[in-house]
A and B are shown apart, each in its own frame.
Chain A
Amino acid sequence: MTHPVELRIPLGVGERLQQIVFRPGNHEYVAFGLVSHARLGTKDVLLVREVIGLDENQYQHAPGHGASWSGTSMLPITERATAEGLGIVVFHAHDHHGTTRLSRDDEQSAMRLLPFFQRRVPARPHASIVLSRDDAAGLFVYPGQDHPARREVRVRWYGQSILNWPARPATHLQSARFQRQELIIGAEGQDTLAMSSIAVVGLGGGGSHVVQQLAHLGIGTLILIDHDHATPDNQHRLIGMTRLDGLLRRRKTSIQRRQVRRINPDTRVTLIHERLPMPATIDALKRADVIIGCVDNLDARADLQQLASRYLIPYIDIGLKARPVTPSSAEEARVAIGGNIATYRPGGPCLWCTGILSDETLTADRCHPERTYATTTDGRPGEAQVVSMNGLLASQAVNEALQLLTGYAGKSITTASSTKKHDPSGAIVGYKKFLGTTGTLDEWGARARHDCLHCHEDLARGDPAWSP
């Protein structure tokens, strides 16, 4: 029995795909997806990088067939796929709700096309997928396979929230314990949380708040990542820490596991006591549905952004900085406290687009000319940390995760739905700035920069497709 294939479709790309294949007309319409693939834990994932439609004059009149198009119209698409080492997925739609399947004609056409694509790019899978309004089915040929075969398909669309097709019926198993929470996120939302996996990177002043709240929410699996040990001077800000933890220099991962077990023994916990770029950390991060980064250095943020773009995983970053300033009068603050929350929706603007990451900020952030990773988590010596301010940013990060997973504030996948209201520049929501001295959290929004190499180049690249 083979596992289902999960198809991940970035913000903007999904909207375009639906516009093409659900277009009303006198024949079916096809869209060609350029895709990479990855093995994420036990999941086979296809990552859609972009979709390409055909012009009306490229379709041929073919009675008895849903859609027929000239072979030459596919040439630029197969050339692009070959040049970039990407697979090709042919999408079309059967416009109805509920379970769908490829027709006999669809399958015969796929049996001819997929081996042709496979000869062009043997190291990537290729597929023919039919979409209904809430389901998908498909025929796939994976590297090394002789014949295309049917696989169950799950589709994950990214927009205001994560939309999964087909939706699973609510089990209502969680109801009694989470009754008041379900008034906001619904019983289906609660089920989704129980089936979700969130990675928290950095278990210090910010991350410990995040972990505590995720356990209360009823998240199914928490992947807790930190290489560090607690010390007595962490206690004023590290949620769940005891005085003995500091004296014994207990691992921060162990302290958070204990916290989670006390709150919600049903939550599965995976501990990674490693620095960020090490293989075990990267493998664990790839399994997450959402990553929350509570790290104190920009190299770590750059790595998380790269993984998020490449594997289409939403990534929420929080950061807080405080520095002393000289007040000109007793009425003015003695410190400047600034923070931010940046939520990366795959396909939307990244941390490089917001300016949080740049070559200049990375150089300035490093203690040495080389990448440092001096600490991945808990503030460098001398940097200010206050539990209540960390908690504010952490709470909002958890709200953002809750919105992504349950869509309590809207579920549309259109780009317009993720655009900051009344902003003519078209900034995408998710970048908020925190001013510590006034306690304000403002939505700034961010636009994908056209010259941003990172979110364009890395988007949906998946695992390298090694050959032979």
Chain B
Amino acid sequence: MHPDTITGAVNELRERYGTDVHVAQDGARTLVRINDVPLPPGCQPLATDLLLVLDPSQAKPLHYVRPGQTLSNGQPVQNSSTVVLAGESWMTFSFNVPYLKGDSLARFATAVRQRFGKP
């Protein structure tokens, strides 16, 4: 994701999620953490922190949630693993969330959340 488009994308996220959006510059990449994002009914827990990693060398944001998150049927997310990222523990999973250049980051975050409701 190009650095010029990151500021705009983050501002748009802030309009949607308010003060729950936190940003950190981590070398060349930008980390965006949205605290306590609500998930579909049945998920355990019902809210998670969502981490989006915007890396200039990657076409698409990378998405992570807190370890141990389940889907709405209470089952663990398939093909998920816990990784160390920026010195913290995060869960990565291979949901194929569509994202094209110029797409809204807020819509991407919504798509990630909704995916937890489709076991």
List the interface of chain A (C-beta within 8 A of B): 38, 83-85, 123, 275, 277-279, 281-282, 286, 303, 306-307, 310-311, 370-373, 457, 461-468
User: How far is A370 from B67 in the complex, measured between Cα atoms in Å?
Assistant: 15
Measured in the bound complex, the distance between the Cα atoms of B33 and A468 in whole Å is 11
**Which residues of B does A touch, CB under 8 Å?**
19, 22-28, 31, 33, 67, 79-84, 86-89, 94
Q: How far is the CA of A278 from the CA of B91 in the complex (A)?
A: 10
* A307-B87, A464-B86 given; A84·B25 CB < 8 A: yes
Bound-state Cα–Cα, A277 to B88, Å:
9
Note all chain A residues with C-beta closer than 8 A to B28: 84, 457
From B67, B81, B82, B87, contact of A461 by CB (8 A):
B87
Q: Complex: how many Å from CA A57 to CA B8?
A: 41
Point out the residues of chain B lying under 8 angstroms from A83, CB to CB: 25
Question: What residues of chain A lie closer than 8 Å to B88, measured between beta carbons?
Answer: 279, 282, 464
Task: Determine if B23 and A461 form an interchain contact, defined as CB atoms under 8 angstroms apart.
Answer: no
Assuming the contacts A85-B24, A123-B24, A279-B67, asked whether A310 and B87 have C-beta atoms less than 8 A apart, the reply is yes
**6 A-B pairs with least C-beta separation:** A85-B25, A464-B24, A371-B81, A466-B22, A277-B82, A279-B89
B83 touches A468 (CB 8 A): no
Residues of B within 8 A of A303 (CB): 83-84
Q: Which residues of A lie under 8 Å from residue B67 when comparing CB positions?
A: 277-279
CB contact under 8 A between A464 and B31, given known A84-B25, A277-B89, A282-B89:
yes
In the bound complex, CA of A239 to CA of B89 (Å): 31
The answer for the CA separation of A190 and B84 in the assembled complex, in Å, is: 34
Q: Are B83 and A277 in contact (CB under 8 A)?
A: yes
Report the minimum CB–CB distance from B22 to chain A (whole Å): 4
Cβ of B81 and Cβ of A370 under 8 Å apart?
yes
Give the distance in Å from the alpha carbon of A281 to the alpha carbon of B88 in the complex: 10
- B80, B82, B94: most-surrounded residue (chain A CB, <10 A): B82
Q: With A310-B87, A371-B81 in contact, do A466 and B23 touch (Cβ < 8 Å)?
A: yes
From B24, B27, B79, contact of A370 by CB (8 A) = B79
Q: A278-B67, A464-B88 are in contact. Are A371 and B24 (CB under 8 A)?
A: no
